[in-house]
Amino acid sequence: MRIPSRAGGEEGAAAVEFALIVGVFAMLLFGMLEFGVAFWQVQNLRAATRESARVAAVRGDSDAIYNRLLDASSGSLTPGNFPKTGVQVSPALCSRDTTGNNITVTINNAQLPNAVKQAFSINIPFMPPIPLNPVLSGTFRCE
């Protein structure tokens, strides 16, 4: 009686293991990419609000605050896609009476462009979307 040389037959084992793991790997990979884009967008806009609050703290007017916000947003916000009414400054502006108090610049999330809003939605394959609603504000002391 002759014994076959290939008793186990494991030729397709690697392909089956790969097929089982590739779905989980894809979810992790695309989840990390989507979260990275959302995190970058949030940090970018928070830095822009801090820069505009810095301008407000040295008694900049509303136009200077708005323009600094647009410049610091790395192209995420432009005059054509983000209205001036989307920026709230509280209190209104720094003056000699408010020296030492804090001034806060906040972006109204409802008035953000659609491309930015889409970046705030993390879409991972095989999972429901995860919406983000970050607080985008910067605070400085009036000088």
Residue 14 is assigned to a structural domain of this protein: no
> How distant is the alpha carbon of residue 140 from its chain centre?
22
Residue 20 is assigned to a structural domain of this protein: no
Give the span between the Cα atoms of 49 and 103, in whole angstroms. Answer: 11
Q: pLDDT 10s digit of each residue in the chain, 143 long?
A: 666 655 566 778 888 999 999 988 988 999 899 999 999 999 999 999 999 999 999 988 899 999 999 999 988 899 989 999 999 998 888 877 777 789 999 999 999 999 899 989 888 877 899 998 999 999 999 88
Residue 67 is assigned to a structural domain of this protein: yes
Residue 81 is assigned to a structural domain of this protein: yes
DSSP SS3 for 29: helix
DSSP SS3 for 47: helix
Number of domains within the chain: 1
Give the span between the Cα atoms of 94 and 86, in whole angstroms. Answer: 19
Residue 21 is assigned to a structural domain of this protein: no
Q: What is the DSSP string of 93-134?
A: ---GGGTTSEEEEEE-GGGS-HHHHHHTEE--TTS--EE---
Distances (CA, A) of 96 to 12, 91, 93, 101: 78, 13, 10, 10
Distance between the two ends of the chain, CA-based, in angstroms? 97
Residue 5 is assigned to a structural domain of this protein: no
Residue 80 is assigned to a structural domain of this protein: yes
Tell me which residue range forms the domain holding 79.
Answer: 26-141
Residue 16 is assigned to a structural domain of this protein: no
